[in-house]
Amino acid sequence: MEILIVEDEAEIAQLIQLYLEKEGFSCRTCRDGLTALQVFQEQKPDLIILDLMIPGLDGLEVCARIRQKPGLKDPYILMLTAKGEELDRIIGLSTGADDYMVKPFSPKELVARVRALLRRTLRQGGQSQVYRTQNFVVDLDQRSALRATLKKPAQGDADCLEPLDLTTLEFDLLSTFMSYPGRVWNRTQLIDKLWGSNFFGDERVVDTHIARLRKKIEPDPANPTFVKTVIGVGYKFEDAAA
Q: pLDDT per residue over 27-74, tens digit each? A: 999 999 999 999 998 888 989 999 998 998 999 899 888 887 755 567
80 and 25 in a common domain:
yes
| Three-class SS state of 76 | strand
222 and 149 in a common domain? yes
For helices 205-217 and 86-94, the axis angle rounded to 10 degrees is 30
Q: How many domains would you assign to the chain?
A: 2
Encode 154-192: b = buried (16+ Cβ within 10 Å), e = exposed: eeeeeebbeebebbbbbbbbbbbbbeeeeeebebeebbe
Shared domain check, 86 and 25: yes
Same domain? For 98 and 170 the reply is no
Q: Looking at 90, 124, 158, which one is the last position of a domain?
A: 124
> Residue 118 pLDDT more than 90?
no
Q: Helix or strand or coil: residue 99?
A: strand
Q: What is the pTM of this model?
A: 0.56
> Per-residue pLDDT averaged across 169-181, rounded?
87
Picking from 65, 92, 124, the residue at the C-terminal end of a domain is 124
CATH code for position 41 = 3.40.50.2300
Shared domain check, 138 and 113:
no
Task: With a cut of 60, say whether residue 236 has pLDDT above it.
Answer: yes
> Which residue has better confidence, 4 or 181?
4
Are 7 and 117 found together in one domain? yes
- Nearest C-alpha neighbor of 45 from the set 114, 107, 113: 114
For residues 3 and 48, the answer to whether their CB atoms sit within 8 Å is: yes
* pLDDT for res 121: 52
Whether 242 is covered by a domain: the verdict is no
Mean pLDDT over 130-156 rounds to 76
In this structure, the strands spanning 136-139 and 130-132 are antiparallel
Phi, psi at 141, each rounded to 5°: -70, -45
Are the CB atoms for 97 and 77 separated by under 8 Å? yes
Query: Do residues 169 and 62 both lie within one domain?
Result: no
Q: Which of 207, 198, 216, 212 is nearest to 234 (CA)?
A: 207
On the question of pLDDT at 106 being above 60, the answer is yes
Q: How far apart are CA 130 and CA 217, in angstroms?
A: 18
* Higher local confidence (pLDDT), 166 or 90: 166
- What is the CATH number for 200? 1.10.10.10
Q: Domain of 204?
A: 130-237
Helix, coil or strand: residue 20: helix
Contact 149, 158 (CB under 8 A): no
Residues 29 and 115 occupy one common structural domain: yes
Residue scoring higher pLDDT (96 or 22): 22
Are residue 117 and residue 138 in the same domain, yes or no?
no
Regarding whether 175 and 109 lie in a shared domain, the answer is no
Confidence of residue 150 (pLDDT cuts 50, 70, 90): low
Q: Are residues 115 and 151 in the same domain?
A: no
Residue 164 pLDDT level (bands cut at 50, 70, 90): very high
**One domain, residues 13 and 33:** yes
